[in-house]
Structure 1
Amino acid sequence: MAPDSAPLHAGHRDRLRDRFLSQGADSLADYELLELLLFSAIPRRDTKPLAKTLIATFGSLGAVLNASAEQLATRGGLKPTAAALLKVVGAAAVRMLREEAVQRPLLSSWDRVIDYLSAAMKYEATEQFRILFLDRKNALIADEVQQRGTVDHTPVYPREVAKRALETAASAVILVHNHPSGDTTPSRADIDMTGEIARALSAVGVALHDHVIVGKRGHASFRTLGLL
């Protein structure tokens, strides 16, 4: 796409920016929000077609913001400045959700916890195993990614989980991992591994509150499913 001069797009950009400021984000389509982000990084190009193409390529606004810099370059055609801007915005959104989730004991703000975990993990291309370490009042002590695996497997070692729980002085933990396939149904391996971790934690006096599986279209809770 050939670059155009900035004045040709100045009116459109001003109108879009004014609509966002006066009417809020709900007044804009996803591609228009992405346009607004790209204005700063690409000052002399019509970013509307690009924003639409990016969303069509990656599937959603969230997927664009969570794509890797390499994917944004190779699949989206973005230069480093634009890719970095989108990565910063995506990271800031996840940080904000995390802050909201941990303002109160995690078990009393469960919906916010799920929102944060979904934003942080559902777009991951490979499995990621995360642990939330909680104190006696169920406040968050630490939030750590313990392992990264393949598209359908992450090696997890129960003794290492129990050891880390002791190191953080946790009273309880919540296990979390993602299914890149999108299907959040616990596998037999997931169930067996959770049982092994629960036993390892129990041996050192640490409770396992839940194991959450995150997918692109939702989540599954072992506690809710009666698997804990």
Structure 2
Amino acid sequence: MDNGPPDGQAGRLRAGRPGRGGAVFGSTGPQGHRQRLRERVLRHGPAGLADYEIIEMLLFSGIPRRDTKPLAKALINQFGSLSGVLTASPTALRAAGAPERSAGVFGCVAQLAASPPREAGPERLTLDSWSSIFLYATSCLILSPKGQVRALFLDSHNNLLVDEALTGEPLHDVGAAVASLMRRAVALHACAVVTVHLVRDDTQLDQALEEARPLATAIGQAAPPLAISVHGHLAVGRAQWRSFSFDGDEA
């Protein structure tokens, strides 16, 4: 079922005390800080963040419920700069305390930064290999909730048209998920589709892939009558990925 994307160059993918009535505002804690950083990026772009704050955000995927600021500053101090952190080896990053997932993400971001500038014209993100899709998933989807299944709709040249989450519980309500996916693909005039499962940290990739087999099979059956190609299903975990035809490791 899983034929994989056509051959080609990998796409490029960057305290006060409460009053007697109790606290007026709910505690923000690390999650509140993370939300504020995300809002600043959405409003002003990454240029509005300090170097250590960029490292903080890149650590979110590997440290889901803990303050990342101390580690971000420690990494900047140890490696000397934002660039030094991003270009450090995964082994050195892990030795400095960075989680495995984050160490892989730093490398992906460094690859993006090193990509040569494109010619002027409309920005088109090409996803024509498993490596390019994995790079996209670990860099552009870093803030998406784990456990989510996303659909990547592509044009005839494997350029990304739209990336969005499948609604509901796609791994359990397969029929509804596939019907919604096909309607969306037709509306977008998509020529191909890839599904990407952002696997939770407590789930093995092989287990997640097997759980997604009914969904992948149903998509493979529903798409051809609509002249839509199915490149396959990718399970993305801690610096690794799995598909039904290929295994990848970016540790």
TM-score (norm 1): 0.51
- Which residue identity lines up with residue 76 of structure 1 in the other structure? D
Aligned to 1:81: none
Taking the TM superposition and a 5 Å limit, the aligned residue runs for 1:112-127 are: 112-121=132-141, 126-127=146-147
Secondary structure of the corresponding residue to residue 147 of structure 1: coil
Identity over aligned pairs, percent = 22
Taking the TM superposition and a 5 Å limit, the aligned residue runs for 1:179-194 are: 179-180=199-200, 181-185=202-206, 186-194=208-216
Aligned to 2:127: 106
Shift in alpha-carbon separation, 1:97–1:182, aligned structure 2, 3 A: farther
Shift in alpha-carbon separation, 1:97–1:210, aligned structure 2, 3 A: farther
Structure 1: 4+ residue segments shifted above 6 A: none
The whole-number CA distance in structure 2 between the counterparts of 1:175 and 1:197 is 9
Larger Rg: 1
The whole-number CA distance in structure 2 between the counterparts of 1:63 and 1:209 is 30
Higher relative contact order (CA 8 A, sep 6+): 2
How far residue 193 of structure 1 moved from its aligned partner, in angstroms, is 1.3
**Are 2:186 and 1:166 aligned?**
yes
> What's the CA shift string for 1:27-85, capped at 9, x where partnerless?
xxxxxxxx9526xxxxxxxxxxxx9xx8xxxxxx83347767xx4xxx3297xxxxxxx
**What is the CA RMSD across the aligned residues, in angstroms?**
4.4
**Are 2:58 and 1:62 aligned?**
yes
Provide structure 1 residue ranges, at least 5 long, that are not aligned to the other structure: 1-34, 39-50, 55-60, 79-89
**Are 2:149 and 1:129 aligned?**
yes
**Are 2:220 and 1:198 aligned?**
yes
Secondary structure of the corresponding residue to residue 246 of structure 2: helix
Aligned to 2:162: 142
TM-score (norm 2): 0.47
The whole-number CA distance in structure 2 between the counterparts of 1:36 and 1:137 is 36
- Which residue identity lines up with residue 130 of structure 1 in the other structure? R
Q: Is the 8 A contact 2:178 2:218 kept in 1?
A: yes
